A and B are shown apart, each in its own frame.
Chain A
Amino acid sequence: MELLAQQLVNGLFIGCVYGLFAVGYTLVFGVLDLLNLAHAAVFTIGGLVGLWLVDTGGLPIWAAFPLAVLFCGVLGLLLDRVAFAPLRQRADSNFSGLISSIAMAIIFESAALGLFGARTVRFPEQTVTVHYWNVAGVFITSLQVEIVAISILLMFALTRFLAKSRVGKAIRAVAENDRTARLLGIHVDGIIASTFFISSALGEAAGVLFGLYFNALSPDMGHSIELKGLAVIILGGMGSIPGAIIGGLAFGLSEVLTVALTGTSNLRDAVAFTVLFVVLILRPSGIFGRKKLREA
């Protein structure tokens, strides 16, 4: 029983990181109807830049974290300018955008490989001081609590931002219908750019937290979370923020539960992808997805 509780707690923590990653993913999809496959590369670069700031720059993590977030936000702007903005008027912008995001993912990953090397690297030991607590037989580390706190804070801030702020409302308007939004005087290209900024910044935050939690960063760490992130946003419903959060938690829990129940980690991903496959066939709009006819 305690083992199960421990696994559930662990699943919750990793689920938070998945959720954070997926929120950025789903945000872009909601606004542009476009799958940004470079999101995982931004996540990787974010983690590595955060590490570089701590390791080489000698900054404490609380200073490095926002700096890296800012850096990746700018990277998101670049991504939008280079890969997506030129294609926006094309009839097949969804498809060509997908391809150009793959191209940017390759370029980003090769940049990470060239700048940081192919080795797996770690944060220096004294980056965060970790306390261990034993709550009714379940071990919790202060790092886990911090990760959950930061994730919840960021997701809460994002939800408030989208609901209340002027830019947030504009983002939702563009997501609803960009032509109408333009007619109403919304600067659509600027809104799309800021969406990319936010999405990439969140991806970066997930990257640093992921790196801290597993204490291992490498240029190819984006590969596994890329597919998981896709699974999460499909499960939650493409474009839905609460869906991405719930989906992330569900995915994290399903992972650890599969390991706990089967006793091996071999089938961990199989269960997740099978669920994804079934969800796509039975209810492609996901749990929280908008009902939308995807006709030509």
Chain B
Amino acid sequence: MDALHQFFAIYGSLVNFIGINSLLALSLYLTLAAGQLSLGSAAFAGIGAYTAGILTMQLGAPYLLSLAAGALLAALVGLVIGLPVLRLRGVFLAIATLSFGEVVRIAVLNINITGGAEGLVGIPNVTTTWGIYLSLAVIGYSIARLRGSRIGWCFECIREDETAAAAMGINTTYYKVLSFVLGAAVAGFAGGLYAHLTYIITPGEFGFSIAVDLLIYNIVGGIRVWYGPVLGAVLLTSLPEILRGIGVTAGPIRMAVNGLILLLVILFLPNGLVSIFERRGRRNPKGPSDAALEEA
């Protein structure tokens, strides 16, 4: 047990961040699963984080209630934003969600209750490693169960060909908004966990670069199965520590390795790192084997 204690003393926060990043990656995965490229998940995480943090600090709300409220508000905003925005496709959707994210970030920066640029300081640290990984297990399991369910098939159908899906009688608007709202809720929940983990949150932590990071986790891991984003998040979150372990400490090199991994994956493994295992597992994988997102 001593070795375990020592490991947690050194890498405890890393383990926590891996869990949070996995949850955030899964939130984006839910939206990507229906073929919708969103760059707004970081903003939803921000909404959840600030809602939960403010509720706990200002109203003394119980921890779980704050988390639930954060997820709920993120989902509500997701619904309001998703309905008009999801009429757009591909790059246009990405840019619309991106500008939504920027508006949220600037709004948080300019209102008083959020603490502005200095951030929200003094959120009680009540999130535990167990809490994070229990949530990850529950949410991961639910998402895994989604595959093969009616909702899962509809998502996949829309992802492969939206026009054909609509022609087959799938209510594409409903399922697209559903994937967006579910993603927002998970992101908001993960944001709440994060707020109660770090004592302080600032608007910059939920900006464009984080949204891109979440997309990178998904792409590197692979977006055809639910554990792909988790794999990507685990690998890329721990990458700085791994590189430090082999003696690379320079910031630019770490960044370059990040970029290089992404480039190599998209060039040679379009379905992500999980496709390495899949290829070995069975020769004829279930479902269409071409690259995951069409016309994105």
Name A residues whose Cβ lies closer than 8 Å to a Cβ of B: 35, 82-83, 86-87, 90-92, 94-96, 98-100, 102-107, 109-111, 113-114, 118, 223, 227, 230-231, 234, 238, 266-267, 269-270, 273-274, 276-277, 280-281, 284, 294-296
- How many residues from B make CB contacts under 8 Å with A? 52
- Closest residue to B252 on the A side, CB-wise? A114
| B37 to A: closest C-beta gap in Å | 7
Q: Which residues of A contact B258 (CB under 8 A)?
A: 106, 110
* A111: contacting residue among B102, B208, B256, B266, CB under 8 A: B256
Interface centre among B102, B212, B258, B260 (most CB of A within 10 A): B102
* A107: contacting residue among B106, B212, B263, CB under 8 A: B263
State whether B98 touches A94 (Cβ < 8 A).
no
| CB contact under 8 A between A95 and B106, given known A83-B263, A90-B270, A280-B88 | no
Interface centre among A83, A102, A280 (most CB of B within 10 A): A280
Interface centre among A95, A223, A267, A295 (most CB of B within 10 A): A95
Q: Which residues of A contact B252 (CB under 8 A)?
A: 110-111, 113-114
State whether B96 touches A109 (Cβ < 8 A).
no
B20 within 8 A of A: no
Q: How many pairs of residues, A versus B, come closer than 8 Å at their CB atoms?
A: 144
Report how far A281 CA is from B96 CA in the complex, Å: 8
B250 within 8 A of A: yes
Q: Which residues of B contact A223 (CB under 8 A)?
A: 208-209
Report how far A274 CA is from B105 CA in the complex, Å: 12
Q: Which residues of B contact A227 (CB under 8 A)?
A: 98-99, 102, 208
State whether A91 touches B294 (Cβ < 8 A).
yes
* Interface of A (DSSP majority class): helix
State whether B262 touches A102 (Cβ < 8 A).
yes
In the complex, per-residue mask of B150-181: 1 if CB is within 8 Å of any chain A CB, else 0: 00000000000111000000000000000000
State whether B262 touches A109 (Cβ < 8 A).
no
- Closest residue to B267 on the A side, CB-wise? A86
B52 within 8 A of A: no
| A183 to B: closest C-beta gap in Å | 23
- Closest residue to B109 on the A side, CB-wise? A266
B216 within 8 A of A: yes
